[in-house]
């Protein structure tokens, strides 16, 4: 009991492209999400060869999302009713700079986020804002090949300067890129890189990574200049990696898999490329092109905190072909015989979360923030005493077991600022583009075929999470 600090930031997380809808309203430009086939990627298969058209995909559920754009007041009232202290969302870059390379921003887009942050302020909910969450303006992908092109740094700089300046008194917590390490596995969705995956060289891919890392350091610098009180963090997809056996070769394979993820948080937190990458770059004929000033920028503007998503752990082996693969949104790994999996094959591992928290804290001694965690499941709407609801005991069980491990990590000594569950209101899945993969405390009446009234209903987990927050975690230790 009472493991969570008194000022712990409890809340929920979303992303503009998965729930705002209104994809062409008030001057918004298209983003890479709007043209993706049904908006999804097959689990564990990297990225689809993007259809680089300028036409939104007709059956793409993300175009309408859950119409948060027009219903944000109703939804924020529900978040407030649960007692949220923090609310994570992203700014859709293409609402502010519709093509990405304009010199002047779109006022209507800026106004929408002003209104949104004002609404949150009414309830004393802190916004936690992701600057780029899988929604690069489409024009930057088609015209420049996304982050493979160094010009993106300048466009991003203009965008972040604009929003930092505009919201400097409304937003305190910022994340530069969502799951920045995912660009290695989903270059189009994550980095707006139009080159088909099979033609993309490692040289170009890691150069794109470098551009994003430089841009992230630049954003940290600019943000602190605009408001020295800003808390600016990186955001990575975290995955503890277990060796399949105690065989040293498997342990090494697990370490190498993990290093590909650590690369990103290491640079953000330590300000330089880790030594273990030298060999990888050499063996893969990669030579990162540094522009004058890149090194200094990265070393002088490290992040204030490290944030991450956590859904699953993975297993690695030196001979992976001998085992069955696991599933994940952008990263897979092998199946762990000791774990069960969600309906989408994501391995459920609460202790993995404690391990990740300890590993990051031990490595960086920086405050941490869990900005995504949750269970995607098929929910069934039933009649309840107060109207339609979902008896989602499986979700409560998942969150409870994970949060208990968060409590353990805090007891271990980890400094953790907060926890936002993913998809606190049902939204469109990033990897499968389904509505039926639901994470929320709030059910949204929309189906995979696009039908539905968009009405909102509280699930059983709504009241449960409300009590968890009200008791500052005490509820987790009842029963």
Which residue has the closest beta carbon to ligand BG6? 431
Q: What is the CA radius of gyration of the chain?
A: 21
Q: Which residues pair with 316 in a beta bridge?
A: 243
Q: Does 176 bind ligand BG6 (CB under 6 A)?
A: no
Asked if 91 contacts 108 with a C-beta cutoff of 8 angstroms, the reply is: no
Q: Does 430 bind ligand BG6 (CB under 6 A)?
A: yes
Q: Does 36 bind ligand BG6 (CB under 6 A)?
A: no
Q: How far apart are CA 442 and CA 390, in angstroms?
A: 9
Q: How far apart are CA 265 and CA 261, in angstroms?
A: 7
Binding track, positions 210-249, relative to ligand BG6; x by CB under 6 A: ---------------------------x------------
Q: Does 422 bind ligand BG6 (CB under 6 A)?
A: yes
User: Is residue 478 annotated as a catalytic residue, yes or no?
Assistant: no
**Taking Cα atoms as reference points, which of 308, 295, 183 lies closest to residue 234?**
308
To the nearest whole angstrom, how small is the minimum distance from the Cβ of residue 432 to ligand BG6?
Answer: 6
Among 94, 136, 145, 178, binds ligand BG6 (CB under 6 A): 178
Among 33, 149, 190, 329, binds ligand BG6 (CB under 6 A): 329
Q: Does 20 bind ligand BG6 (CB under 6 A)?
A: no
Q: Does 420 bind ligand BG6 (CB under 6 A)?
A: no
Cβ closer to ligand BG6: 329 or 389? 329
Long-range pairs for 24-28: beta carbons < 8 A, 24 or more residues apart: 24/56, 25/69, 26/95, 26/106, 26/108, 26/109, 26/112, 27/95, 27/98, 27/106, 27/108, 27/109, 28/92, 28/94, 28/95, 28/98, 28/106, 28/109
385 contact partners, CB below 8 Å, separation of at least 6: none
Q: Does 15 bind ligand BG6 (CB under 6 A)?
A: yes
Q: Does 431 bind ligand BG6 (CB under 6 A)?
A: yes
Cβ closer to ligand BG6: 18 or 149? 18
Q: Does 31 bind ligand BG6 (CB under 6 A)?
A: no
Give the torsion through C-alpha atoms of 357, 418, 32, 433, to 10 deg. 80
Choice among 126, 212, 258, 372 that is catalytic:
372
Residue with tokens 């936690």: 128
Active-site annotation, residues: 372
Which residues are near ligand BG6 by CB under 6 A? 15, 18, 134, 178-179, 237, 309, 329, 372, 376, 422, 429-432, 437
């Amino acid at each position: 009991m009472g493991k969570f600090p008194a000022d712990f930031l409890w809340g929920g997380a979303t992303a503009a492209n998965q729930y705002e809808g209104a994809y062409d309203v008030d001057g918004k430009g298209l983003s890479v999400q709007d043209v993706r086939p049904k908006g999804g990627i097959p689990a564990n298969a990297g990225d689809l060869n993007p259809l680089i058209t300028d036409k939104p995909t007709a059956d793409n559920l993300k175009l309408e999302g859950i119409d948060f754009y027009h219903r944000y007041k109703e939804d924020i009232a529900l978040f407030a009713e649960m007692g949220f202290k923090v609310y994570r969302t992203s700014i859709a870059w293409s609402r502010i700079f519709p093509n990405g390379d304009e010199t002047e921003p779109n006022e209507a887009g800026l106004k929408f986020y002003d209104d949104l942050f004002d609404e949150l302020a009414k309830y004393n909910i802190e916004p936690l804002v992701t600057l780029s969450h899988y929604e690069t303006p489409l024009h930057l992908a088609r015209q420049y090949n996304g982050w493979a092109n160094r010009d993106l740094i300048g466009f991003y700089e203009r965008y972040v300067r604009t929003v930092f300046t505009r919201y400097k008194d409304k937003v305190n917590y910022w994340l530069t890129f969502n799951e920045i390490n995912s660009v290695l596995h989903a270059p189009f969705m994550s980095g707006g890189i139009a080159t088909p995956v099979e033609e993309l060289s490692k040289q170009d891919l890691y150069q794109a990574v470098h551009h994003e890392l430089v841009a992230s350091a630049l954003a940290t610098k600019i943000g602190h200049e605009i408001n020295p009180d800003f808390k600016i963090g990186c955001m990575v997809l975290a995955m503890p990696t277990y060796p399949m056996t105690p065989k040293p070769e498997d342990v090494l394979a697990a370490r190498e898999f993990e290093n590909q993820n650590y690369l990103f948080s290491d640079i953000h937190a330590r300000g330089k490329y880790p030594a273990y990458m030298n060999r990888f770059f050499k063996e893969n004929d990669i030579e990162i092109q540094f522009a004058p000033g890149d090194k200094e920028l990265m070393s002088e503007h490290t992040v204030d905190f490290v944030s991450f998503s956590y859904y699953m752990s993975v297993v690695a082996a030196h001979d992976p072909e001998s085992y069955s693969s696991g599933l994940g949104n952008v990263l897979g790994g092998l199946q762990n015989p000791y774990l069960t999996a969600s309906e989408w094959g994501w391995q459920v591992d609460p202790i993995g979360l404690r391990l990740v928290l300890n590993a990051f804290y031990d490595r960086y001694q920086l405050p941490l923030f869990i900005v995504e965690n949750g269970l995607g499941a098929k929910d069934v709407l039933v009649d309840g005493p107060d109207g339609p609801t979902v008896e989602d005991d499986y979700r409560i069980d998942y969150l409870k077991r994970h949060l208990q491990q968060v409590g353990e990590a805090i007891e271990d000594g980890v400094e953790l600022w907060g926890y936002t569950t993913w998809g606190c209101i049902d939204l469109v899945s990033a990897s499968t583009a389904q509505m039926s993969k639901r994470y929320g405390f709030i059910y949204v009446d929309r189906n995979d075929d696009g039908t539905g009234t968009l009405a909102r209903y509280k699930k059983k987990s709504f009241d449960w999470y409300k009590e968890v927050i009200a008791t500052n975690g005490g509820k987790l230790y009842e029963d």
